[in-house]
Structure 1
Amino acid sequence: MKEYQINVNNSKNQIQKFIVEEYDNYVVLKQYLSNEMDLVEIPAKINNKNVTVVGDCCFFNHPEIIGVYFSSAIQSIGNAAFAYCKGISKLDLPDSIKKIGISAFIDCTGLNRVVMPKHLKVLSAGLFAFCHLNCDAEIVLPHELEEIDVHAFYSGDSFELKIPDTVKRIAVGAFNGGPKVITSLPYDKCWYLDWPYGEKIVFSDGQEGIVSNITYVGIDCTNSEILEVTIGNKRQNIFYPSCEENVYKFENIHSQQMMQEDIKNNPELEELYQAWLNGLV
């Protein structure tokens, strides 16, 4: 592999500047260096080799771009590749694309219409998060889609989204703060909730339960969650994060570590916890 800067003329004979990585059989666009053009053309070839990858963060934070034209050589788009490109209004992604990375179009608030690649199987985590799409926005999902990952449309606002019948899995929080979905799948409130919905809780007395609902509470700028935990045929509410030592823990070690971090970073939660215990919130 060799890395270098290159100038590529577009169809208007404008110079587009890139840093690229060249491999034996293909080229990766690593970084877009221009900032004066509103229309970008992804080159099909560089040095007679197909440009198959738009790399991670390649077009990160280029609000001047209003349109992107892809060649049919592109096979994947990297993580956060077009993050914060707030000027882009339409995307027509070629069917050659098989993979789109995490948060690839996060905070692209200008989007109004997107046609996804026909053979894409997974909408990755945070793909269109914080896009705040208009109610008349249209996202055309592929008919081969199988999974919609966590936060794919987080804070996407309330447009309508048609889910293909091929979809087998929709992750927790996929539509949190996001679209109204039209689907043949049985409705699951987890789509509009967030972590730790569905997590297993172990209490100090040995009882085990599953987080089955989340209510958000707060006083001033201090915010927390009340977790409804289903234990057999009964339900119990608990305060998150735990403000009393060893009352409960998450079975998943990573989830328990996340709670410990939240406890350490939010000492002011004790006041909110006491208010909850006394029925004030």
Structure 2
Amino acid sequence: MRKEYEDMKKKIILFIALTVLVVAGMALLASYVFSGGKYDNISWEYRNDVLTIKGEGDMPDFYYECPLDKYAEKAKELVIEEGITSVTGDTFYGFNKLEKITLPDSVNKIGDSAFDCCISLKEVDFGEGVVSIGRNAFEFCIELESVKLPESLESLGCVSFSCCEKLKTVHMGSKLKEIGWSAFDDCHEDIRFFLNEENPFLVCEDGVFFSEDKKTLLYYCNVKKNETYTIPEGIVKIAPYAFLNSENLKKVDFPQSIQIIDEMAFCNNSNLHIVTIPDSVTEIGKGAFGGCINLERVYIGKGVSSELESVFVLSACISEISVSEENMHFSSVDGVLFNKDKTKLIMYPAAKGGVVYEVPSTVNEIGRGAFSNSNFLGVILPDNLVSVGESAFSNSTIEEINIPASVTSLGENAFRDCESLKKIIYEGTMSEWKKNFSDSYYDSRTANHTVICSDGEINVETDDE
């Protein structure tokens, strides 16, 4: 009986041991899980945390649902095999566990946001075939510390490596021709760029990129700590978005060689206080100093001839704009910007203040956004005024305005976001008002107001609800 008991005990122990082995084996097998699939011209395998893509030609566009998304929280390594020629935009967006990417020489293009928000990514082997990297391609890859771009690369898209906060070292090849705006913005503050000395297209000096002839400043990395930057003599043009979001800069000194400040060049430079445009500048692009929220004073030299209506948009702290008396196209009176003969009011500085501003009698046109964001109670318009531009008084504190009958054009959104507006006095008739001006001059955030015409009143209810 005792022998039978011992035999039974051994069998139970053996059964338990076998069960443990089976469970452990299944757990081990689970770590080597294999799955795969096929879509259009590609196929894939997933094994032991590695996602491998195979196929020929460009990866397909996954317009609605990407079948690879099921690996976004699993795959730690991505291997794309020879034969694939491009990585489509957004394909691997948000692959949170991905630590390593290996691309073949056959891949020549990485699409927009292809690897955006791969927050665990530490290593990328680009191969030697990539010619272009799209915008936002590696944005928010916050674990990347070093990148060696391939010699084949010619074009690096806007914001391509922006917000890679640990990125400190970038190696660039001899064929790179184009660096998009904000390509390395908000990376590590000590980021260093190593550009192949044989590159015939670009020059890099202390985190600032120039054209090969050093006549165009292309890109100023916004993590630079400089509070003052002197643009080198010989620079003729500042490229679009070149200094975008350079929040550390408080002052920029321009050389006498500069002629063009392109669109959005200094947009959102929130610590710029004073801007002096030298006489050599002939053209300033739209939004060049837009969103410079602490910009207070602007001087415009004698050479500027391009349109200035949108140059300082959303720079709401400007209190004074002065213009060289030798300028043949623009003038200023008491800090307000006009064209030369003062027939057009271009910009009333938003921080100039004042209770009521009287527009000079010479003015027949109020420019686009001229009084936008201004802090005053009212404006007196001249009797010969013909046109009020779009967004002319948008987001201002205006309460009341008298519009003469001579006005035949009231631009779209002229009183957008005017939450204090109570009364518009129109010297023409109600039928003339309705004929000449559509309801597009206000929006739902404009206060309910009354339009008082020469023959009656129109109550304007702006709330759509």
Calculate the TM-score normalised by the size of structure 1. Answer: 0.62
Summarize the Cα distance change of 1:125–1:270 in structure 2 as closer, same or farther, 3 Å threshold: farther
1:160 corresponding residue in structure 2: 192
2:303 corresponding residue in structure 1: 232
Summarize the Cα distance change of 1:209–1:140 in structure 2 as closer, same or farther, 3 Å threshold: same
How do residues 86-97 of structure 1 correspond to structure 2 at under 5 angstroms?
Answer: 86-97=119-130
1:77 shift after superposition = 0.8
1:43 corresponding residue in structure 2: 81
Higher RCO (CA < 8 A, seq sep 6+):
1
1:252 corresponding residue in structure 2: none
Summarize the Cα distance change of 1:15–1:119 in structure 2 as closer, same or farther, 3 Å threshold: closer
Contact 1:26 1:51 in 2 (8 A): yes
1:177 corresponding residue in structure 2: 222
1:85 corresponding residue in structure 2: 118
Are residues 1:100 and 2:133 paired?
yes
C-alpha separation in 1, matches of 2:112 and 2:372? 26
Summarize the Cα distance change of 1:143–1:217 in structure 2 as closer, same or farther, 3 Å threshold: closer
1:268 shift after superposition = 5.3
Are residues 1:66 and 2:99 paired?
yes
Quote the sequence identity (%). 17
Contact 2:371 2:394 in 1 (8 A): no
Are residues 1:193 and 2:227 paired?
no
Q: CA offsets per residue over residues 67-104 of structure 1, 9 Å max, x none?
A: 11112221211111001111111222111111211221
Contact 2:162 2:187 in 1 (8 A): yes
Are residues 1:28 and 2:73 paired?
no
Letter in 2 for 1:66: E
Contact 1:123 1:147 in 2 (8 A): yes
1:176 shift after superposition = 4.0
Give the strand-richer structure, 1 or 2.
1
1:116 shift after superposition = 0.6
Gap regions ≥5 residues in structure 2: 1-37, 203-209, 226-230, 246-259, 265-280, 317-335, 337-343, 348-366, 374-389, 399-465
1:204 corresponding residue in structure 2: none
Letter in 2 for 1:103: N
C-alpha separation in 1, matches of 2:372 and 2:396? 13
Contact 1:128 1:153 in 2 (8 A): yes
Summarize the Cα distance change of 1:141–1:8 in structure 2 as closer, same or farther, 3 Å threshold: same
Letter in 1 for 2:302: I
1:122 shift after superposition = 1.8
Give the number of the structure whose alpha-carbon radius of gyration is greater.
2
Summarize the Cα distance change of 1:178–1:230 in structure 2 as closer, same or farther, 3 Å threshold: farther
Letter in 1 for 2:303: G
Contact 1:156 1:179 in 2 (8 A): no
* Partner residue of 2:174 out of 143, 153, 157: 143
C-alpha separation in 1, matches of 2:41 and 2:371? 45
Contact 1:217 1:225 in 2 (8 A): no
C-alpha separation in 1, matches of 2:370 and 2:165? 29
Contact 2:119 2:143 in 1 (8 A): yes
C-alpha separation in 1, matches of 2:217 and 2:232? 14
How do residues 105-144 of structure 1 correspond to structure 2 at under 5 angstroms?
Answer: 105-134=138-167, 137-144=168-175
1:147 shift after superposition = 2.0
Question: Which secondary structure state, in structure 1, belongs to the residue aligned with residue 59 of structure 2?
Answer: strand
Question: Which secondary structure state, in structure 1, belongs to the residue aligned with residue 164 of structure 2?
Answer: coil
Question: Which secondary structure state, in structure 2, belongs to the residue aligned with residue 52 of structure 1?
Answer: strand
1:43 shift after superposition = 3.0
C-alpha separation in 1, matches of 2:312 and 2:48? 61
Calculate the TM-score normalised by the size of structure 2. Answer: 0.40
1:247 shift after superposition = 1.0
C-alpha separation in 1, matches of 2:372 and 2:90? 28
1:111 shift after superposition = 0.9
Contact 1:8 1:16 in 2 (8 A): yes
RMSD: 4.7
Letter in 2 for 1:232: G
Letter in 2 for 1:148: I
C-alpha separation in 2, matches of 1:92 and 1:246? 56
C-alpha separation in 2, matches of 1:103 and 1:260? 36
Contact 1:224 1:241 in 2 (8 A): no
Summarize the Cα distance change of 1:29–1:39 in structure 2 as closer, same or farther, 3 Å threshold: farther
Q: CA offsets per residue over residues 90-143 of structure 1, 9 Å max, x none?
A: 222111111211221112111111111112112221111222235xx2111112
* Partner residue of 1:55 out of 85, 88, 100: 88
1:17 shift after superposition = 8.3
Contact 2:51 2:77 in 1 (8 A): no
